[in-house]
């Protein structure tokens, strides 16, 4: 019997375990050990897919080796025995058979990401989609968009169309802001071009050939003028009526703020805008004159009251209709240039993709939607090469609309064959709307939200008929006091932040959001520190350090703790500085640009002074940095003399070493090391270590400051210090990174961000049915001005979604804790989260919190209050091993000299070993220096290589592609890339094989010193290639940095001639 299983989970409820259980249940349902090959399991990150595979293998291995005297107690095994109605020996034998086949045919295990599935599907349909079969997937869309922006800007002056609209867009920005960085502003528009929600808008605009922006602007200008005139005319008409009746504005109640003032503002529109305030509403009810007015005035106005009210009603109707038209026309006029620019950026991306034969990953879902979804599922599977009976989707709340509707036909076919498919997810943990995730789909299941016409009827009925909804409501992660606190808080927050009868209210109703606690996990501790109204800037960080000390005193290790923040760029960086000042070791899953560190900024400013002694911004930067680091007063005016700021007087006053500039024959590395020793002698800051690494890699030990800054100042993003794991350090990460993780103690400081972080955020709006707009789609700012444009429903829908997303972000943060949860925040207004949380706590304080175990509330008067639930727990401090190598450690407790640390660090030794492999890979698929650079840029952006490795590999590539002989060979030959050769029972993989009209040429790249042993290896490659090639084979070793060629004599004995 077909089943569509819907598992609605919650934090810590065993979502992954449930999916693995269903996978095993379907795999072991019969004696067919190959059943697992008919299951497609989809998740959304490589990490999640890897974890799922590991869990499956582990469970299969456990079941296959289970002891015959098993007494029960394992959730998975007990469930399988019951639901499959089998005995232990049979279950174990089936698991063993599947396990053996799985290990042998591991590639047939179809567990992966949605993007991997789409990639394989598109590959198999490349001909149908008119794609070249050797296209590459572009994962780094940020770099792709950056290149498109640069290409567009480069055409200014040469292309009149682009020049006109780009200058028009700049004029718009200058009208709103004091400064414009056009490249930066455009790069922030990536979602408006490449986002899933932008695809329909961009495609429609590009396909509408008759779109004349000049004519559209004139049309909008005329409509705006008509609307303005209509409002002014009506206002003046009523004012003339009042004058004719000898009634003055001040005769009415509330004078210019009341009845008469409404028409004055209409006459002055748009410089003044009338509003239907409380006085106007009273006027509509007949209250036109103040109660204290003279009797003759009352009688006079009362005699015309019917006409006056009628004219007010007419005027309000005229204003609202024409104000809507004026506001929308005006907004669209301002956006015309941006629309044209976005369309041109899309065309630039298409050019780049065509030139490089690449396909942006964001195009996958749209391609499948347009070209493949209408085909029969059997046709899809025929091309794909595999056929699935069961579709399992993990983290369903992160699925986009297109992704869901592309997968739905596969689920529908599974159900039509009487099979089982499932989805599992938690809408409350949906925090990736900016990536296309749409949790509303999960809340609505089994109903479909806005399905395409070709899926609407059959799919919806199939899901309804076969669906079975299961709630995973028990929290196996957190202790009972934490569970109870979160139940109370989030049911109240849901009531406060969601509209009645909305999908969002359904998800956060008390019966939906409340979890059952695991009876084995007793006690638990919750601490809420409200820091009062508008607390001091450092109050959150002081409270954080105080709370960390509470737990270390109770025996907790730093590695037991995690600090969760909204952003590493803001509060994350501030926390990092404070923790390092307090000598608290930190590890992170996020990366931080090294120039964000205050100590690095101090050293960089001194380095600038080393080659420009009168650099005033550098001197000010030094003073500002020292103010933060050493708590010195910022008083540059006290040291300002005729020749500028006297920095050494400042340093002398504050007992800091005098700055002497560069010493004789001192290189940049030695200078930097000296500056650190002089001004930060006790620092163990890993950012400084990273700065030294960057210097060595970019300009060497003896380079100059000028050389370094000529490069440094061109970088849009500075090199980053990567996160580290494995040491006894407190974890610092964003809430997004923490999703799916859990920690003994969680600190959530400064939960007081704005509901809307950016008031100028733009979103595409569909205006095809709007009578004012002749533009089918337009990007408009997401603010309450949308209501004035007649887009009230769209604004309210986005407001609801924004509140839901923020609620989810808080939910994810507060449900990571196992044993203790500490949150702190201030109250800074209704537009921020802190005030919302405080209001909710006040609402549940007496009714729910006060009855919880260990409840205690302390009022700190104006400085806020503290609520505690439970008793501060104790923990035995475990012994921890510091993991060496890997990522750079935040804190290096030893006193090893900087020079030794940089040149002997395990991470650098590892990079040396991998350098050759990475270089070979890049060159083997690059026909030019530009292609090699683009691939290196993408690798760095994707985190596969560090900025330092990028610099080094780029230098090697520049050296190779500057060699005329190599370039000439590339131009005259076909590159066969890394070809596998079988020779004497071994598989050989030379770096590069080329073929031209006369020869087959084999090249093996070497990045180290010349060594004769390499010639023997390459000779084997050549001999193997001779067996396959009909043309003479020539083999070479090509050494890099510097480039020189070594011809290799092949085993046949024929010496090689020159190719050039």
1047 strand-pairing partners? 1036
Q: What is the CA radius of gyration of the chain?
A: 34
For the record, the structure tokens of 247 come out as 């009634």
Spatial separation of the C-alpha atoms in residues 344 and 158, rounded to whole Å: 14
Element (H, E) at 3: strand 3-8
Is 12 marked as a binding-site residue?
yes
Choose among 86, 189, 108: nearest CA to 145: 189
Is 959 marked as a binding-site residue?
no
Spatial separation of the C-alpha atoms in residues 776 and 545, rounded to whole Å: 54
Cβ neighbour number for residue 743 with a 10 Å cutoff: 23
Spatial separation of the C-alpha atoms in residues 660 and 317, rounded to whole Å: 75
Spatial separation of the C-alpha atoms in residues 913 and 920, rounded to whole Å: 13
For the record, the structure tokens of 304 come out as 């015309």
Residue for token pair 């995730």: 437
Spatial separation of the C-alpha atoms in residues 924 and 957, rounded to whole Å: 11
Is 16 marked as a binding-site residue?
yes
Buried-exposed string 56-84: b where 16+ CB fall within 10 A, e elsewhere: beebbeebbebeeeeeeeeebbeebbeeb
For 498, residues 6+ apart whose C-beta sits below 8 A from its C-beta are 504, 505, 507, 508, 800, 803, 804, 807
Element (H, E) at 835: helix 833-844
Choose among 686, 687, 714, 685: nearest CA to 698: 714
Spatial separation of the C-alpha atoms in residues 925 and 934, rounded to whole Å: 11
Is 9 marked as a binding-site residue?
yes
**Burial classification of residue 875, based on how many CB atoms lie within 10 Å of its CB (0-12 exposed, 13-18 middle, 19 or more buried):** middle
Cβ neighbour number for residue 671 with a 10 Å cutoff: 21
Task: Encode 731-787 in three state secondary structure.
Answer: EEEEHHHHCCCCEEEEEECCCCCECCCCCCCEEEEECCCCCCCCCCEEEEECCCHHH
Spatial separation of the C-alpha atoms in residues 534 and 827, rounded to whole Å: 6
Which sign, positive or negative, has the C-alpha torsion 693, 699, 703, 706?
A: negative
What are the Cα distances from residue 686, in Å, to 544, 597, 600, 670, 895?
22, 10, 10, 18, 13
Spatial separation of the C-alpha atoms in residues 179 and 719, rounded to whole Å: 26
For the record, the structure tokens of 39 come out as 């299951």
Spatial separation of the C-alpha atoms in residues 996 and 998, rounded to whole Å: 6
Choose among 848, 285, 267: nearest CA to 526: 848
Spatial separation of the C-alpha atoms in residues 1007 and 1043, rounded to whole Å: 9
Task: Encode 483-545 in three state secondary structure.
Answer: HHHHHHHHHHHHHHHCCCCCHHHHHHCHHHHCCEECCCCCCCEEEEEEEEECCCCCHHHHHHH
> Is there a contact between 683 and 625 (Cβ–Cβ < 8 Å)?
no
Chain centroid, CA 798 distance in Å: 19
Is 11 marked as a binding-site residue?
yes
> Is there a contact between 747 and 561 (Cβ–Cβ < 8 Å)?
yes
Is 197 marked as a binding-site residue?
no
For 35, residues 6+ apart whose C-beta sits below 8 A from its C-beta are 26, 27, 28, 29, 98
Beta strand 3-8 pairing with 586-588? unpaired
> Is there a contact between 568 and 592 (Cβ–Cβ < 8 Å)?
yes
Q: Which residues contribute to the annotated binding site?
A: 9-16
Q: Which residues contribute to the annotated binding site for ATP?
A: 9-16
């Amino acid at each position: 019997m077909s089943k569509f299983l819907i598992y609605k989970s919650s934090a810590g409820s065993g979502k992954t375990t449930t999916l693995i259980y269903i996978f095993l249940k379907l795999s072991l349902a019969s004696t067919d050990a190959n059943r697992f090959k008919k299951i497609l399991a989809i998740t959304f990150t490589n990490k999640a897919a890897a974890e799922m595979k590991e869990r499956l293998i582990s469970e299969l291995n456990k079941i296959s080796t289970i002891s015959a005297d098993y007494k029960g107690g394992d959730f998975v095994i007990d469930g399988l025995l019951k639901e499959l109605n089998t005995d232990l020996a049979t279950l174990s034998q089936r698991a063993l058979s599947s396990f053996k086949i799985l290990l042998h045919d591991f590639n047939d295990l179809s567990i992966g990401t949605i993007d991997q599935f789409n990639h394989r599907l598109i590959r198999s349909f490349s001909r149908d989609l008119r794609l070249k079969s050797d296209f590459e997937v572009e994962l780094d869309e940020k770099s792709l968009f950056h290149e498109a922006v640069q290409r567009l800007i480069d055409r200014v002056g040469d292309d009149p169309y682009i020049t006109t609209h780009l200058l028009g867009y700049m004029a718009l920005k200058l009208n709103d802001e004091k400064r414009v960085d056009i490249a930066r502003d455009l790069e922030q528009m990536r979602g408006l071009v490449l986002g899933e929600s932008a695809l329909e808008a961009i495609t429609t605009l590009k396909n509408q050939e008759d779109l004349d922006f000049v004519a559209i602007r004139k049309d909008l200008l005329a409509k705006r003028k008509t609307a303005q005139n209509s409002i002014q005319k009506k206002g003046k008409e009523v004012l003339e009526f009042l004058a004719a009746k000898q009634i003055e504005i001040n005769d009415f109640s509330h004078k210019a703020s009341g009845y008469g003032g409404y028409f004055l503002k209409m006459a002055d529109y748009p410089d003044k805008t009338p509003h239907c305030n409380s006085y106007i509403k009273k006027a509509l009810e007949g209250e036109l004159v103040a109660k204290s007015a003279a009797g003759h005035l009352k009688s006079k106005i009362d005699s015309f009251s019917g006409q006056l009210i009628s004219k007010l009603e007419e005027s309000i109707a005229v204003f609202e209709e024409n104000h809507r038209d004026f506001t929308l026309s005006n907004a669209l006029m301002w956006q015309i240039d941006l629309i044209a620019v976005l369309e041109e950026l899309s065309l630039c991306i298409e050019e780049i993709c065509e030139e490089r034969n690449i396909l942006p990953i964001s195009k996958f879902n749209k391609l499948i939607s347009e070209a493949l979804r209408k085909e029969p599922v059997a046709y899809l599977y025929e091309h794909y090469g595999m056929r699935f009976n069961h579709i399992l989707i993990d983290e369903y709340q992160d699925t986009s609309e297109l992704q869901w509707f592309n997968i739905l036909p596969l689920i529908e076919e599974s159900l039509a064959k009487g099979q089982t498919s499932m989805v599992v997810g938690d809408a409350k943990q949906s925090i990736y709307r900016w990536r296309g995730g749409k949790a509303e789909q999960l809340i609505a299941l089994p109903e479909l939200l806005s399905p395409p016409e070709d899926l609407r009827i059959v799919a919806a009925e199939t899901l309804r008929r076969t669906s079975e909804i299961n709630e995973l409501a028990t929290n196996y992660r957190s202790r009972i006091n934490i569970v109870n606190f979160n139940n109370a808080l989030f049911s109240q927050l849901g009531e406060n932040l969601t509209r009645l009868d909305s999908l969002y209210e359904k998800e956060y109703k008390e019966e939906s959001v409340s979890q059952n606690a695991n009876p084995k996990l007793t006690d638990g501790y919750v601490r809420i520190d409200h820091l009062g109204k508008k607390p001091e800037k450092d109050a959150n960080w002081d409270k954080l350090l105080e709370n960390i000390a509470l737990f270390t005193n109770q025996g907790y290790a730093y590695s037991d703790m995690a600090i969760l923040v909204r952003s590493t760029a803001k509060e994350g960086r501030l926390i990092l500085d404070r923790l390092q000042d307090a000598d608290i070791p930190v590890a992170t899953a996020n990366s931080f640009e090294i120039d964000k560190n205050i100590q690095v900024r101090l050293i960089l400013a001194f380095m600038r002074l080393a080659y420009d002694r009168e650099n005033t911004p550098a001197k000010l930067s030094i003073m500002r940095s020292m103010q933060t680091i050493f708590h010195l007063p910022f008083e540059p005016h006290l040291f300002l003399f005729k020749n500028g700021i006297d920095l050494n007087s400042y340093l002398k006053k504050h007992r800091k070493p005098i700055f002497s500039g560069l010493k004789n024959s001192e290189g940049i590395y030695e200078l930097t090391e000296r500056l650190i020793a002089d001004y930060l002698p006790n620092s163990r800051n890993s950012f400084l270590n990273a700065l030294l690494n960057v210097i060595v890699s970019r300009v060497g030990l003896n380079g100059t400051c000028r050389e370094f800054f000529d490069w440094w100042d061109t970088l849009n993003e500075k090199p980053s210090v990567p996160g580290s794991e494995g040491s006894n350090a407190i974890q610092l990460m964003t809430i997004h990174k923490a999703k799916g993780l859990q920690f003994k103690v969680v600190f959530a400081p400064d939960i007081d961000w704005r509901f809307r972080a950016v008031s100028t955020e733009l979103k595409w709006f569909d205006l095809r049915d709007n009578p004012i707009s002749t533009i089918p789609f337009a990007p408009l700012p997401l603010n309450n001005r949308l209501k004035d444009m007649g887009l009230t429903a769209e604004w309210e829908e986005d407001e609801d979604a924004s509140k839901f997303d923020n609620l989810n972000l808080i939910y994810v943060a507060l449900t990571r804790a196992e044993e203790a949860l500490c949150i702190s925040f201030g109250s800074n207004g209704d537009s921020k989260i802190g005030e919302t949380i405080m209001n909710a706590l006040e609402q549940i304080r007496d009714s729910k919190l006060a009855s919880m175990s260990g409840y205690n509330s302390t009022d700190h008067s104006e400085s806020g209050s503290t609520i505690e639930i439970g008793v501060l727990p104790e923990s035995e401090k475990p012994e921890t091993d510091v993991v060496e190598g890997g990522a750079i450690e935040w804190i290096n407790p030893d006193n090893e000299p900087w020079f030794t640390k940089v040149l002997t660090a395990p991470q650098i030794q590892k990079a040396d070993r991998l350098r050759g492999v990475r270089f070979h890979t890049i060159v083997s698929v690059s026909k030019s220096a530009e292609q090699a650079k683009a691939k290196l840029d993408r690798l760095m952006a994707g985190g596969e290589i560090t900025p330092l490795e990028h610099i080094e590999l780029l230098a090697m590539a520049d050296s190779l592609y500057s060699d005329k002989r190599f370039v000439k060979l590339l131009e005259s030959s076909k590159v066969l890339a890394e070809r596998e050769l079988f020779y004497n029972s071994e598989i050989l993989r030379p770096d590069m094989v080329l073929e031209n009209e006369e020869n087959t040429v084999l090249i093996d790249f070497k990045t180290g010193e010349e060594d004769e042993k390499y010639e023997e290896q390459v000779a084997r490659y050549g001999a193997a290639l001779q067996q396959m090639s009909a043309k003479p084979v020539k083999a070479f070793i090509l050494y890099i940095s510097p480039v020189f060629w070594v011809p290799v004599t092949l085993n046949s004995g024929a010496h090689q001639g020159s190719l050039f």
